[in-house]
Amino acid sequence: MKTFIRIMDKINLGIKFLLGTILALALIILTWQIISRAVFNAPLSWSSELLRYLLVWTTFIGAGLAIRYQKLIRLEFLFSLFKFPPKIEKGIRGLAAVITMVFCVIILMYSVQILEIVHMQKSAAMHLPMSIPYLAIPLGSLIMLFNTLVAWLEGEWDTKGGEQV
């Protein structure tokens, strides 16, 4: 288990770098789009499409990372309204982790099926196979699944805190 957690932590470090790179690239493309439209009066035909795909990738990959560091919406409102005994609270949190993992598996299965359907379609401006933007869904759900498992194994799912990203 500890080996799996260490591997996921190294993968998460790479994901942090990837997300930073994607966001920097999106900022550069957006800036260039504004300059080319405002200064040169020649808008780029592909930039808004690429920005949309980069933001989709950032969302799905970032959600997987946010699960690891307990940065997504959780059941804290429930625990602040009702004072459960610690064992019941831990059980509810464990159930929430299991439900999250089942949800990730379902999304993973259906998104792989969707990849097979959209692979032959091309994007409008860049003529990319649509499987490239859609690949963010199964990859993100796989990362979410593994990071939920890591958080659950470490017991972080049972706590209110979480490590800073």
Low-confidence winner among 9-13, 62-66, 80-84 (lowest mean pLDDT): 80-84
Cα separation, 86 vs 105, whole angstroms: 29
Is 48 within 8 Å of 123 (Cβ atoms)? no
Low-confidence winner among 6-10, 88-92, 146-150 (lowest mean pLDDT): 88-92
Contacts of 154 (CB under 8 A, 6+ apart): 5
Q: What is the pTM of this model?
A: 0.86
Asked if pLDDT for residue 165 goes beyond 50, the answer is no
- What pLDDT, on a 0 to 100 scale, did the predictor assign at position 154? 86
Give the pLDDT band of residue 83 (cuts 50, 70, 90): confident
Summarised one tens digit per residue, pLDDT across range 18-61 is: 999 999 999 999 999 999 999 999 999 999 999 999 999 999 99
What does the domain layout of the chain look like in residue ranges? 2-158
CA atoms within 13 A on the CB side of 67: 25
Is 71 within 8 Å of 165 (Cβ atoms)? yes
Mean of pLDDT values over 53-70: 94
Mean of pLDDT values over 4-25: 96
156/153: higher pLDDT: 153
Mean of pLDDT values over 64-85: 85
- What pLDDT, on a 0 to 100 scale, did the predictor assign at position 158? 56
Give start and end residues of each alpha helix (H) in 39-159.
47-68, 76-81, 86-118, 131-134, 136-154
Summarised one tens digit per residue, pLDDT across range 86-133 is: 899 888 888 999 999 999 999 999 999 999 999 999 999 999 999 999
